[in-house]
């Protein structure tokens, strides 16, 4: 358990619960509307800065906007909830002075899951394979940080998780977020994966993986003293390592997906077991004045 004093959070009021459901509904509807919008794949958005032109395909713009919507809505909701709620969100965002072991775990866990899965697949399907690029993975991680991970964690951990944990246990709250997260991502997943005979199996494995990662995210968030930078790094490492390593899997893609989902679920079960006996950390002394 964290070294900080343990407390029980105040009960979430009925009004606060309805506000949370409204937030989740709006996040789902707006993100889905953006991702499923009828913009053609060939379209692009051109922006010129200091004489240099940048080309952003509509697919990328839709992905970016849809990912950022929950975080933007979370900030809007907090602004209307009052000074105390704004301070609580700010405190978790600036809480970066935590033991290095949490940053280490946030960086290593995704790489470990996907590298072990890759090694198992290559053992059973020997042959010539490409090697993942660590340098490219780190570059993608840095580029990804200020977009999906930052805005996503503002919503899912700094806003939704804190509220759910005021009414439900840590494990239950984590699974609730994971289930919602999986549903929220379905249109994005379907539009970025081509037609395949194994799509249904891949979707089931993806849902299992998302539920498991949600437990891991929540555990690291709480055990690090509710440090948002830790889980932002975790999501960026997960996304960048998954994309880079999966791109090198030429044979046995479905096996890789299921192996990584199973390994993530195993880790999540271990984290959940520790979470059952944990109370939430008292971080009130770190709230900005």
User: Are 202 and 196 in contact, with CB atoms under 8 Å apart?
Assistant: yes
Tokens, residue 6? 């343990």
CA atoms of 211 and 178, how far apart (whole Å)? 4
Burial classification of residue 61, based on how many CB atoms lie within 10 Å of its CB (0-12 exposed, 13-18 middle, 19 or more buried): middle
- Can you give the pTM of this predicted structure? 0.86
Across 1-102, where does the E strand assignment appear? 6-7, 44-49, 52-57
State residue 48 phi and psi, 5-degree precision. Answer: -110, 120
Q: Where are the domains of the chain?
A: 6-286
The enclosing H or E element of 281 equals strand 280-281
Query: How would you classify residue 99: left for phi > 0, otherwise alpha for psi between -120 and 50, otherwise beta?
Result: beta
Which pLDDT tens digits describe the chain residue by residue (289 residues)? 444 434 344 566 777 788 999 999 999 999 999 988 876 555 556 565 555 555 556 677 788 889 999 999 999 999 998 888 889 898 998 999 999 999 999 999 999 999 999 999 999 988 777 888 888 888 888 888 888 899 999 999 999 999 999 999 999 999 999 999 999 998 888 776 655 677 888 889 999 999 999 999 999 999 999 999 999 999 999 999 999 999 899 888 899 999 999 999 999 999 999 888 776 766 554 444 3
Burial classification of residue 14, based on how many CB atoms lie within 10 Å of its CB (0-12 exposed, 13-18 middle, 19 or more buried): exposed
Q: Count how many residues are written for the chain.
A: 289
User: Are 102 and 216 in contact, with CB atoms under 8 Å apart?
Assistant: no
């Amino acid at each position: 358990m964290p070294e900080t004093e343990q407390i029980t959070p105040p009960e979430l009021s009925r009004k606060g619960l309805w506000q949370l459901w409204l937030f989740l509904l709006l996040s789902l509807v707006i993100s889905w509307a953006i991702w499923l919008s009828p913009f053609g794949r060939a379209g692009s958005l051109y922006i010129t800065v200091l004489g240099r032109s940048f080309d952003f395909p509509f697919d990328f713009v839709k992905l970016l906007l849809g990912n950022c919507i929950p975080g933007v809505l979370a900030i809007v909701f907090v602004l209307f909830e009052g000074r105390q709620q704004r301070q609580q969100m700010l405190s978790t965002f600036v809480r970066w002075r935590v033991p290095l072991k949490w940053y280490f775990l946030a960086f290593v866990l995704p790489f470990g899951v996907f590298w072990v899965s890759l090694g198992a697949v290559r053992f059973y399907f020997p042959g010539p394979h490409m090697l993942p690029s660590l340098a490219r993975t780190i570059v993608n991680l840095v580029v990804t940080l200020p977009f999906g991970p930052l805005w996503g964690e503002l919503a899912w951990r700094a806003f939704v998780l804190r509220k759910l944990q005021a009414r439900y246990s840590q494990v239950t709250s984590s699974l609730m977020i994971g289930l919602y997260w999986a549903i929220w991502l379905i249109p994005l997943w379907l539009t970025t994966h081509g037609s395949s005979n194994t799509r249904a199996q891949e979707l089931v494995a993806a849902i299992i993986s998302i539920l498991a990662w949600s437990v891991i995210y929540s555990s690291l968030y709480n055990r690090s003293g509710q440090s948002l930078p830790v889980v932002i790094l975790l999501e960026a490492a997960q996304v960048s390592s998954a994309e880079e390593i999966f791109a090198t899997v030429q044979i046995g893609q479905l096996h890789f997906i299921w192996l990584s989902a199973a390994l993530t679920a195993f880790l999540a079960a271990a984290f959940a077991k520790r979470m059952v006996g944990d109370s939430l950390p008292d971080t009130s002394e770190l709230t900005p004045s």
